[in-house]
Amino acid sequence: MPLHSGFTCPGLVEARVPSPSACSSEILLLGQRTPLVLLVFILAGASLALPMAAPLAAPLAAQEIQLIGELRPRHEQRSPDFPSAPAADVMMRTRLGVAMGLSESLALRVVVQDVIAFGGSGTESGWDPDPDLFVGFVEVSEFLGSGVAVRAGRQEISLGNERLVSRNNWGHRGQRFDAVRLLGGRGAVSADLFSARLAGGSGSRWLHGAHAAIPLQADESLHLYALHNREGEESGTTHYTGGGHARVEAGGVEWILEGYLQRGERQGVSVSAYQFASGAARTFDRVRTQLLYEHYSGDDGRGDRLGSFDRLRGSNHGFHGYADLFTSLPQNAGGRGLGDLNLSATMDLGFGTEFQLKVHRFRVVEPRDLSSGRFGEELDLVLTHRPRSGVTLEAGLSRVWAGPALEELRGLERNLTFGYAMVGLVF
């Protein structure tokens, strides 16, 4: 059955099984309630002994099955304990699933996830101590002969650069939605129309929207968004967000432009907010450099409207430093907005190794009653090594020089150091 071109499970490599009988032993193990992590260790060990499978490129034939697996332990350490995270911990995410072609136009994907804290009791996979359903959906390709695919069920949704809608891959549990999506396109242009409800937690958190990706030329692209999110009747929160981002090349420089307008209500109060980013990037042989300014409007506290921009369901990691000071906006900035001027250099060291250095300068957009508009500065160093397909070794170190605004709004009274080491294995 042909999977739609938009069908991906980012970060996972699929290993093909020619028929259901070929995975009978795995099904038996599951039936005997073998711990998920043990089963993944068994399959991972087998995959390391053989050449790693390439990502799925051809359509699935009817009754063909693919095994999908991931094992990702990560050790984190920070000093001081901030923001409400333990000083040190080791967490491990385990995922195991199957993708199956039920017919020429119908596909099924199911992925189970478990997250454990080393040395702790039980698991951290959600509100149930047992492994939970991370992904479970069906996809109908060529729906009514229209060239549009329909995907329904629990799934990840990742749009564009993930600033507004993300699968939150850095988080151990990730982020998934119970959604219905229409996936299609014309030529090189792709489009996504969806209605989704955030899975897990309490309350009713809906996200509806449309996204289009338009290639321009070479590595240039344009992404457009129209999004509506609603936090539930009891919260009085609903946002309408529209805009996009583009990358264009001129004079050997890649120019980055991004902007959104946001209207609606938050806890019953009118919202009028915006976000923009602009910068430039250039590649010199094996080194890519980028200078970028990212701006989120804040509330000045003078009127009856809120001026702080909400990041919706965007990525909570990577945009504004690996120490994760600003994973939730506008909350982490006290509703006052955030200005982030950052400079990065990414170096290809060869042999599957990459080194990244990134410096952030964080400032408050609307200081209001604060003694200073300085949040602080952050330096991130990340080393990544990929010895073979499906295997990633990564380590990072971050240093935050805290400013007065971080102490007054967040309680960080001294400089912060964060480090991590992570191993990723997918098959």
Residue 70 in any domain: the answer is yes
Residue 404's CB is within 10 A of a number of other CB atoms, namely: 16
Q: Which two tokens stand for residue 124?
A: 């951290």
Radius of gyration, alpha carbons of the chain: 22
Residue 246 in any domain: the answer is no
Residue 118's CB is within 10 A of a number of other CB atoms, namely: 10
pLDDT at residue 249, as a whole number: 95
How many domains does the chain divide into? 1
The percent of residues above 70 in pLDDT, for the chain, comes to: 81
Residue 99 in any domain: the answer is yes
> What sign for the dihedral angle of Cα 208, 186, 314, 74?
positive
Q: What's the whole-number mean pLDDT along residues 341-351?
A: 98
Contact between residue 334 and residue 373 where contact means Cβ atoms under 8 Å apart: no
Q: Which two tokens stand for residue 375?
A: 């949040």
The percent of residues above 90 in pLDDT, for the chain, comes to: 68
Residue 129 in any domain: the answer is yes
Pairing of strands 206-215, 189-198: antiparallel
Q: What's the whole-number mean pLDDT along residues 100-117?
A: 92
- The three-point CA angle 18-391-23 to 5° equals 20
Residue 2 in any domain: the answer is yes
pLDDT digits (tens, 9 = 90+) for 235-251: 789 999 999 999 999 98
Numbers of helices and strands, H then E, in the chain: 3, 20
Confidence of residue 200 (pLDDT cuts 50, 70, 90): confident
3-class DSSP state of 175: coil
Domain that holds residue 31: 1-74+93-155
Alpha carbon distance 161, 165 (integer Å): 8
Q: What's the whole-number mean pLDDT along residues 79-92?
A: 78
Residue 175's CB is within 10 A of a number of other CB atoms, namely: 20
The string of DSSP letters for 155-188 reads E----TTSSSB---SSSSS---EEEEEEEEEETT
Q: With 50 as the cut, is the pLDDT of residue 323 above it?
A: yes
Task: Identify the bridge partners of residue 29 per DSSP, sorted by sequence position.
Answer: none
Alpha helices (H) in 267-415, listed in sequence order = 404-410
Higher pLDDT, 10 or 258: 258
Alpha carbon distance 319, 383 (integer Å): 17
Q: What's the whole-number mean pLDDT along residues 8-12?
A: 39
Terminal-residue alpha carbon distance, the chain: 21
Q: What's the whole-number mean pLDDT along residues 314-337?
A: 92
Residue 115 in any domain: the answer is yes
pTM value surpassing 0.75? yes
Q: What's the whole-number mean pLDDT along residues 383-388?
A: 98
Cα dihedral 316, 319, 324, 328, rounded to 10, equals -40
Q: With 60 as the cut, is the pLDDT of residue 59 above it?
A: no
pLDDT digits (tens, 9 = 90+) for 257-289: 999 999 999 988 999 999 999 999 999 999 999
Residue 215 in any domain: the answer is no
Which residue, 400, 404, 414, is CA-closest to 324?
400
Confidence of residue 373 (pLDDT cuts 50, 70, 90): very high
pLDDT at residue 37, as a whole number: 44
